Every structure is written in structure tokens, then in C-alpha cells.
Structure 1
Amino acid sequence: MALFAICPACCERKSESRIVQQAGTFIKIEQVCASCGCQRFWQNQPILLRNMPACNLLLSGAIHFSGCLASQTLQMMTLFGHQCISVSTYFRHQRRYTIPVIIQARQNDQAKNLSDLRAMDGGIVVAGDCRSDSPGHCAKYDSYSLIEDRINKVVDVQLVQSSDLPNSFWCELEGLKRSIGFLRRQDLHLSTLITDRHRQVAKWV
């Protein structure tokens, strides 16, 4: 507040200032000079749509995109004495903005990769494998990923829920089937498939 103790309009005389609004990282200050009557408002960041401070959204995006835990990161900033958003605000930003942005960026990147593959000669060369959310045969979710070997890019990811199948052992085969079906719908010819030694996958191939 010492930065607002001097009026910038009338020969640097003393003025009164006060905080009129705070919202997360946002702060708005009113400065009034008793000598010349000059009044001005200062804020530390621009306001976006829906009266949302820009840095509040940028902070939520930085936490989400870096993979940090929101509760621990915000608690650390609070211990440092920084103004920051709440955990509920972070999850609201995540639901409304950062997750849709990630999905859109992924879809744009996937469309570009598929377009590049259609322009290349020969069939595609893909390597696939499955990853479970827990070890053993008690996984609830499995994600199956296909990587195109020539461009070294992930061309498809399928999330499989084990409750839709007899057990979690079937998730890898189901993920592969969905990925191959997706590539066929994109008019891509499969020339080489690289997998691990999964017995169900070998039998299906």
C-alpha cells in the first residue's frame, strides 16, 4: 500500500488508498487525494469474461497442466503469504476450462496426425499396450494406447472399464479392438501391429 501513498497528479502529495476488492490473486485499490480530489482505481490483472480475474485462471491452468496437487500447491502459497484461489475454485476452473482445453488440444493433434498418416505411402505401423490403474487382476480402468512407429506419435487412446467385461484380464483385448476399429473408421490400413505376448491378443490377431 506504500506504493499508493503519494498522489501522482498533484506534485506528489500524500493520498489515501484502500483495498476495495479481493478475489483470489486479484486485488483492486482505490486511491483518493485529499488535496486535488484526484481519484483513480488500480488493479493488478485484467478481468476476463464472467468477471473472472485472468491470473486466477492462469494459476489453475499452471497447477493442472504441471500435474501438481492443487491442495498442496495452494497450501504452500498460503504459507508463503501469497493471495491465491481456493481449492473449490480450482476444481471449478478445471471442470469448465482446463479439461475442455486439454480435450480440444488432443483432438486437434490427433486429427493432424491422422491427416499426416493418410498422406504417407503404405500401411501404418502401430505398437500398442495396455496400462491398468492398479496391479494384478483387480483393475477397474485400463487405458490402451497405440503409437505409430514412423511418426512416433500416439494415434489413439481407449479407456476400458473392467465392469463392462467378464474381468479386468479382458481389458487389453477390448482396448485393442476399439483402437483398431477407430483406425478402420478413419480409412487407415494397418500393415504392422506390435504388441506384447498377451495370449488373447495373439489369438484374436
Structure 2
Amino acid sequence: MIGSIPAGNLIFSAALLFTGLLPSKTIRFMEQMNISTISTNTFFQHQKYYLHPSICSVWKTFQEKYFQRMKEKDKSLVLGGDGRADTPGHSAKYGSYAMLDLDLVLVVHVELVQSNEVKSSYHMEKEGLVRSVDFIKSQGLKIKEIVTDRHVQIVKYVREEMPNSVHHFDVWHVVKGLKKKLLALSKEKECERLMAWIKSLCNHMYWSAASTPSGNGQLMLEKWESVINHVQNIHEHDGDIYTECAHGPLEESARKKKWLQPGSKVAERLADIVTSKQMIKDVPKLSPGPQTASLEGFHSVINHFAPKMIGFSFHGMYSRIVLAALHFNENAMRDQATTKDGTKRFDVVFPKYKKGEYSVRKIKVDCTYEYIGQLMDVAVTLAEEKPMNSSVLDLEDVPPPLASAYEKPEKQVAIQEKISRYANVIESDLYDSVDEPSCSNA
């Protein structure tokens, strides 16, 4: 026994949640194997009184140690921020926002926002950022630099409320929008030749940012706009800073792509895209260094602990996001795996988005799960100290349910209305079929 609870029952519930499994499927699996186990109601009781508080406790301990270490170093933070909705589109119920220390590759804070806490689900990402920034500032730390996507509300907030922080855009998010426009243009008549240049144009945007470590926005923009001349075999430019291409002499015999003809439709349309108002605003803010790719990886980890096709309570969703953060922080910087003779291991894969082109990726060592041991220790300690149904819960406040804003009818009245409405429809259809003559009678 652990306190008043059978030890196996509590450990089963803890292992189920801490490893990211779903209770209904796991318990159904046990039942089909004819293995006696707890009910789903028992699991949710364990989760409410012991497992959720254990997760919050371990996460709070991690944050306290991290912030204390940053204070001792007197270091301003370089953070990446990104949001995730629990379902696609504008019907999402939950929006989570994560802050990642880009120097240490650690998720340092997560916020969970329910859609009825803001105007609509579109506003959840900004609210998550605001709460995260307020929390980090409350710890006595300064944000030196923040890297995000191009969410317009976030851009405005950082510009107005964080004047002492440098705001950069993640290059991948800008390139993703650019590629869509280039692909659409390449499908137009007389623009087919652009298809061969799309990959190079996307790479050029990455290079424009990465080759400018000083973060000089004007230089980035001139480097980016130089591509208009380059694709037309013109390698001297009218910029104030960047006046000629950085590459050496090009051997025409070794070239596979054909130059775009000056004055052609495709060249002019490409120039419109490259020099659009959106690009002029975004390119100078590209991040020359840290990117938010690791946050995309973190979102993949969340999908393991909290799949988007499953609905969770507020505490259930928050706990699973924190579990994902603990797992990510322990395993994000794993070493590369090696063979017995010490050779580093790689894998060749064919991502769907590359349409037949391959990528070479590092194979890393297996994940570790030391955080689960910490969670288990805290859960057992809580069970020993507090009886079930204890009123003392160390959990965050829960926003009201989405349905609380609507008037709920009496259940029996609603059922009767549905039954009578359905009966009237059937009766109406029956009379219509009797009154209308059939083809044979006509």
C-alpha cells in the first residue's frame, strides 16, 4: 500500500500518464488480455489528486533552478516563441505557447490558453506570448532577443511593449510563404522556367540572413534583392552596401539552369514578388543566427503526449504539454549514435515535401526517461502524505467551460423536442408520398 492506495494501482496510473498513453485504450487493452486492472474512473481520481500535482511540482522545480542559474550569470535571454492549437483552423479549444531558450535548447515556459479567455481562437497565440513574457519578467530576467513567426499581433505587441528586445523572424516561416508564391507563379504560362530556380531562391533567402551575422537589416535586404539580377546573369547591383555577387566566376558549360531573360514576363513577375511590401518589411528582420526549428520538434513531442484527435480537460492538456517539455529538455541534445567501431551513424530519407529528393540525417542515441523517475517519486510521496479526495490541490485555475456562455435546456425537454420534431418530419414525408401520384397511376 502507498498511503491508503494499493501500490500497483497508483504506479499503473502514473506509468500510463507519464509515458503519454491514453487511459481508455490502455485499460481496454488490459481487459482484452484478461488482466485485472483499475477502471478509468480510478485513473482519473489518481490523476486529479496525485499525478497532475506531481507534474506541476517537478516542472516548477525545473523552472526555479533554471531562472536561478540565469540570475547568477546575470544573463539576458535569447528566446524563441511559437504557438500550437489543439485542432486545425479557427475552431481550436486550446492554444499552447512555448518559450525556448535558443542558447541552451530548453523549453523554459509553457502557457495554455482556452479560446473563451480571448476574443477568438486566433487571439490565443498572442495571449500565450503576453503571459509568457510577463512570467519571465516577473522572475527578474530580461529578454535580449526573441525569435518568432510573422504573426501580425505578436509583431505589433513586441514592437510596442518590448522596445528593449530585438525581434527576429524565423527564416523557415518566411521561406514557406515565399515558396508557395513561387510555385504558383511557375505554373503560369511563360513562367515555367522559374521552376528550376525555386530551390535556389529559397536557399538564397537563408544565405541572406546567415551571411549577415551582424543582423544589419539593410544589408540583408540588398542581398535578397540582388537575386533579381543574378537569375538574369547580371552580377553587379545598385545597392548602397551590397554591390556585386559574392560568388566567383561562373562556368557556363557546367550550368544546368537557364538564365531568365531580362524583360520577360517571368523575370518581371519574380521581381514583383522579391520586392513586395511584405518582403521589404520581413527580410530585414530575419534571424541571422538562432531559429525556432527546435520548437517545431517540441510540437511533434506534444503530439505524442496529447494527440490532436483526442479531447482533454484543461488540466489534462496542461499536464501533457508539461510532460512533453520535460521529455524534450532531457533528450533534445542527445549525442549522435555510432557503430561498434566508433563511426558516426547517418540515415538517408526521402521526405514527402522534397518530392523525390533525399535528405541525410544524423541517427541519435536512444531517448532517456529519467524525468519519469522524478515524477514517480513525487507522486508516491504525495500519496503517502495526503489521502484521496484531499481538498489541497496544487493546480492552476481552470477557465470556465466553453458551453458555460450558453443557456442549457432541460435534458428531457430537449429530448422530447427532438423526438417530436423527428416524428413530424416522418409523418410529413409519409403524407407527401401518399398524396403525390406515382408514375404508374399517372
Aligned to 1:86, which of 28, 39, 43? Answer: 39
- What secondary structure does 1:85 align onto? coil
Q: Deviation of residue 75 (structure 1)?
A: 2.0
Higher strand fraction: Structure 1 or Structure 2? 1
1:180 aligned partner, one-letter code: V
Map residues 1-205 of structure 1 onto 2, 5 A cutoff: 47-50=1-4, 52-205=5-158
Aligned mates of 1:91, 1:187 — CA distance in 2: 37
Aligned mates of 1:49, 1:167 — CA distance in 2: 45
1:156 aligned partner, one-letter code: H
Partner of residue 238, structure 2:
none
Post-superposition Cα deviations, 1:106-139, rounded to whole Å, max 9, x if no partner, equal: 1111111111221224310000001111111222
Q: Deviation of residue 77 (structure 1)?
A: 1.7
RMSD: 1.4
Post-superposition Cα deviations, 1:159-186, rounded to whole Å, max 9, x if no partner, equal: 1222222222221111111111111111
Contact 1:113 1:153 in 2 (8 A): no
Contact 1:124 1:189 in 2 (8 A): yes
- What secondary structure does 1:147 align onto? strand
Q: Deviation of residue 78 (structure 1)?
A: 2.2
Aligned mates of 1:153, 1:195 — CA distance in 2: 16
Partner of residue 235, structure 2:
none
Post-superposition Cα deviations, 1:88-115, rounded to whole Å, max 9, x if no partner, equal: 1111111111111111111111111111
Equivalences, count: 158
- What secondary structure does 2:103 align onto? coil
Aligned mates of 1:158, 1:108 — CA distance in 2: 17
2:60 aligned partner, one-letter code: Q
1:112 aligned partner, one-letter code: K
1:92 aligned partner, one-letter code: Q
Q: Deviation of residue 140 (structure 1)?
A: 2.1
1:104 aligned partner, one-letter code: S
Aligned mates of 2:111, 2:144 — CA distance in 1: 20
Contact 1:71 1:87 in 2 (8 A): yes
Bigger RCO (CA 8 Å, 6+ sep)? 2
Distance change >3 Å, CA 49–CA 145, structure 1 → 2: same
- What secondary structure does 1:203 align onto? helix
Partner of residue 13, structure 1:
none
Any gaps of 5 or more consecutive residues in structure 2?
A: 159-442
Partner of residue 170, structure 2:
none
1:190 aligned partner, one-letter code: I
Any gaps of 5 or more consecutive residues in structure 1?
A: 1-46
1:120 aligned partner, one-letter code: K
Work out the percentage of aligned pairs sharing the same amino acid. 39
Aligned mates of 2:18, 2:50 — CA distance in 1: 12
Aligned mates of 1:182, 1:173 — CA distance in 2: 14
Aligned mates of 1:78, 1:72 — CA distance in 2: 10
TM-score (norm 1): 0.73
1:189 aligned partner, one-letter code: K
- What secondary structure does 1:49 align onto? coil
Aligned mates of 1:190, 1:99 — CA distance in 2: 30
